[in-house]
Structure 1
Amino acid sequence: MSETRTAQLMDGSGLAQRIVEETAARAAEITDRTGVAPCLATVLVGEDPASATYVRMKRARCAKAGITSRHIGLPATTTTAELVDTLAELSGDPDVHGILLQHPCGPHIDERAAFEAIAPEKDVDGVTMHSFAAMSFARPGFVSCTPGGIMRLLEAYDVELAGKRAVVVGRSAILGKPAGMLLLAKDATVTYCHSRTDDLSAIVREADVVVAAVGRPRLILGEDIKPGAVVIDAGYSPGNVGDVDHDTAVTRAGLITPVPGGVGPMTIAVLLEQTVRAAANQLGTRHHV
């Protein structure tokens, strides 16, 4: 009887910790040279418990990395125009180097209008059209944090992407779409799938790299995974469940991210790293960090 194979887990937590340690060192150098600590402004509309928790966690990580955080909590009744004004004011504040709008903001908010009020040089979450264009054309700028974290994981595990078939399941503006663009920039052959894709399983089975980013628990089963494929699970649902059925996928994949401990920690690490880079750019110290 042949032994059941088990995929190697991609340790996002460990890699994220190393990135944050390097980021903290850069933040300290900026503070020493300029007397100004990098500053991230977080903006939260309403009191959604999950969103509030995410913001607290990000602010706590900022503190550990030597990054100052400024939080702006707005009532749930905030209009799009009021939110845009707040973000425009932060964009013009020289003491703020990065801006994070926690989303979703609520169905009454035009999130795209809100994102576009963030100055590109402070868009450390990579949510503006300017940032998406920079990602698409492989130009300097800030990447969307989760796709950026995914690419760092693939790099850390020496995943060869050139010529490989990558399937991205999900087409959100800040996860699925930019993930595909970043993979394309590494010469992968990219297919986007979504809720209206016919015979999703057949397409996923052809993938050398699968990025699951659709937000539907256990949508992708182990039988859908090509033996030896790299599986990146960017989904999260209550109960620590991702978009991939981990228990069955782990017997077929070559590399796979755990949930939690895979993509999530990388997202925050990239956010902090980009905040420090934004501060370096704005404070004129980019040649020293």
Structure 2
Amino acid sequence: MKFTNLGRTGIRVSKICFGSLTTSALQKNFTAEKAADLFAYAIQEHQINFFDTAELYGNYAHFRALLKRVKRQEFVLATKCYAYDRKTAQQSLEKALMEVGTDYIDLMMLHEQESEHTLRGHRQAIEYFLEQKEKGVIRSVGYSTHFIKGVKAAETVPLMDVVFPLINRRGIGIADGERMEMEQAIHEQIDRGMGCYLMKPLGGGHLLEEYPRAISYLQKEFPETVIAIGMQSKTEVDLNVRSIVDRVWDRDEEERFHFQEKKLKIADWCVGCGACVEACQQNALGLKGGKAVVLDQSKCVRCGYCAKACKEFCIKVV
């Protein structure tokens, strides 16, 4: 495993971050024991030490179970929340500490920030987290974003340590512009010394058929930056380590990975705009009850057109 410093935080992390949304009830709904076994495998067999979760995922129990298998100092835990004032920030932090069973969080982030204006609206929460950082309860503070304006907003909060943006070779999920604009915004923050790790390298699963190109794109554009990727099996862990860290393409392994059963899933925050339905040339999608639905999984060819059209990033392959 290769490691890098997370900006100026002093936290050393693996070049792969294990995104745990995949194991949560929002996607594969692993039991705590099953998830912990997979996390422990990633740590013990491949030295992956960086894990990303969120209050929304509801899977803190997975990490509590992990602590039965490894020592707390063997992994770096990042979590995210929607806290907006001191009270909700305290509640979110205490929930994470209690449910994980730890006395500190390595990286506490605000979830899905859009711009300097939303960061300003969460100022009290940021101040609370920074106070807890001074006390050693939190090691670093940051936020995640799908917005170019969100990445640029880091400059308005000088004490923020880490930004966690969305980027992939097709720009799937970028909410307010094009891929090249997001690339520039990310590079600007890295040059400022911000800690940065990258989400959605496969565009929520829509770039699975382009896996080598999707990973190579990030390796060339952001060679020193950590890639966060969801994994649901030891096979996927093995493949991602070889591809992202060792840069070795195993065609047979990749084919086995592709042929695992994966389905299109539309999140419940869909606003029913119909953009995905119009973009789907296979007639796999439709609208029912004011929401987009998958009419026929067998018709989906994972082209990614629906995901590109969705401004809410509701559509994933899981």
Q: Same fold (TM over 0.5)?
A: no
The alignment's TM-score, normalised by the length of structure 1, stands at 0.33
- Structure of greater relative contact order (alpha carbons < 8 Å, 6+ residues apart): 1
The alignment's TM-score, normalised by the length of structure 2, stands at 0.31
